[in-house]
Structure 1
Amino acid sequence: MVRHTQIKNIVDSILSLHCNHPIRVGVSGITASGKTTVANEIAQEIEHRGKNVIRTSIDHFHNCRKIRYRQGKDSAKGYYEDAHDYESFRDKLLIPLGPGGDRVYQTSSFDLARDEPVTPVPKLATSDMVLVVDGTFLFKEVLANQFDYKIFVDTSFDVARKRGAQRDERSFGSVEKAEAMFIKRYHAASERYLTEHSPKESANVVIMNNDLQNPAVIIR
């Protein structure tokens, strides 16, 4: 299958890096672009090669509800600016695994369902591990230089909205309500991300993901 071959080619590129610390791989893209699926496929292929993987998402580093929704539950500006705790994400995960880091890390800082901070027991990484983390706004300027390898999942807004609305139908009560939220909040914020930070241009790999079975891939 074309998709599996493309994933293998990307992993070849990742594992060709020579680092004295864990390789930090970020997978970004607009909301519902397919980031989580791609990140899982990458992680599984790396594990298949005999490497130990640290797999997490920036969604385990949310801000509390009071901060997340202080600009309104349907605010695109609020989603873009307030959804995630970048300081914890950077200081508890990315920096410890990077150059000069002590490799003592945690993969979460917040329980979204309970709306409360969590303090998991820190783990110690070995230098040959690979971190694979996904997130919508991963390549904002405040985070971009903390990744050794960046993958951008390039899916059109129309395709992503339809996929996301079907996925989130139960949460919002109907596909139509889910689509409306994507337009007003999630994808409006994603448009700002693309405009302000050009994540596609800075990525090592771009995956054109409209066709799930046959994605086109550019490895730079």
Structure 2
Amino acid sequence: MSDSSSPSAESTAVDRPFLIGVAGGSSSGKTTISERLVDLTGEEHLSRIELDSYYLDRSHEPLETRSAANYDHPDAFDWPLLNDHMAALANGASVEVPIYDYAEHNRSGHTRTVHPKKIIVVDGILVLWDRALRERFDLKIFVDTAPDIRFIRRLTRDVADRGRTAQSVIDQYLETVRPAHERFIEPSKRYADVIIPEGGLNRPALEVLLARVRELTV
């Protein structure tokens, strides 16, 4: 079932999209950068995909098992599906992106239609980890934000928006989030073309990025 408001899921005739990957630690500011890019270019020019949409389907597992899974580990993601979707978009075809239900720790069973446009942005903690995905990007960005800032943002977000308790967020951070960041996310920074300290708060770096993207929509 598709939740897209687009009148058609048919392929859109465009030149090969310019693909941008935005990686960085949890709550580093990746979404802020992606949303600024959308605001600048307009939805008619840019499609955005979140890596979180590609968590594996865990319908075969009970809720207790799903809630205990390590969602910051590369094994939590459906890389083949994401790579298939990126290949399709690059070839001018629309795709059905899963919609994830954070309360159920599983795919919701619904999708949203993403169409190929001039620019496609993929953001997520491990966007630069998977080699096949990484090599598709024309521009690779890593958002580098201090651990204490990232933790405070994550705590605030998960309690307010995802119905989590503060203690559960702290436990998850210590048990899986921080170890995964040190093992997988931070090392992927070496693949970035551009490193943006402090994410969306770094206005000079953001303006340089926005100027580059602006050129693509002229």
| Aligned with residue 46 of structure 1, among 15, 28, 41 | 41
CA contact (8 A) 2:55 2:77 kept: yes
2:205 alignment counterpart: 217
Question: Which sections of structure 1, spanning at least 5 residues, go unmatched?
Answer: 1-18
Distance 1:90 1:42, change over 3 A: same
Indicate the residue corresponding to 2:18 in structure 1.
Answer: 23
Task: Tell me the distance in 1 between the aligned counterparts of 2:112 and 2:176.
Answer: 34
1:187 aligns with 2:182: no
- The change in CA–CA distance for 1:213 and 1:136 in structure 2 (over 3 A counts) is closer
Q: Distance in 1 between matches of 2:61 and 2:133?
A: 20
SS of match in other structure, 2:89: coil
Do 2:83 and 2:133's aligned partners in 1 also have CA atoms closer than 8 Å? yes
Q: Please, what is the CA RMSD of the aligned residues?
A: 3.3
Q: In the alignment, which residue of structure 1 is the partner of 2:165?
A: 173
% identical aligned pairs: 22
Secondary structure class of the residue paired with 2:26: coil
Which consecutive residues of structure 2, in runs of 5 or more, have no partner in the other structure? 1-13, 210-218
Q: 1:75 to 1:125 in 2, by over 3 A?
A: closer
Whole-angstrom distance in 2 between the partners of 1:134 and 1:68: 28
CA-to-aligned-CA distance 1:139-185 (integer Å, 9 cap, x gap):
112421011111110012222111111221243212x4323312221
Q: What TM-score, normalized to structure 1?
A: 0.71
Change (3 A) 1:157 1:177: same
- Residues 109 and 33 of structure 1: CA distance in aligned 2, closer, same or farther (over 3 Å): same
* TM-score scaled by length of structure 2: 0.71
Q: Which amino acid in structure 2 is aligned with residue 44 of structure 1?
A: D
Q: Which runs of 4+ in 1 moved over 4 A?
A: 66-76, 116-124
Query: Alpha-carbon deviation of 1:68?
Result: 11
How much does 1:81 deviate? 3.2
How many equivalent pairs are there? 189
The amino acid of 1:150's aligned partner reads K
The aligned counterpart of 1:152 is: 142
Alpha-carbon distance in structure 2 between the residues aligned to 1:153 and 1:68: 34
Per-residue deviation at 1:215?
5.2
Q: Which amino acid aligns with 2:46?
A: V
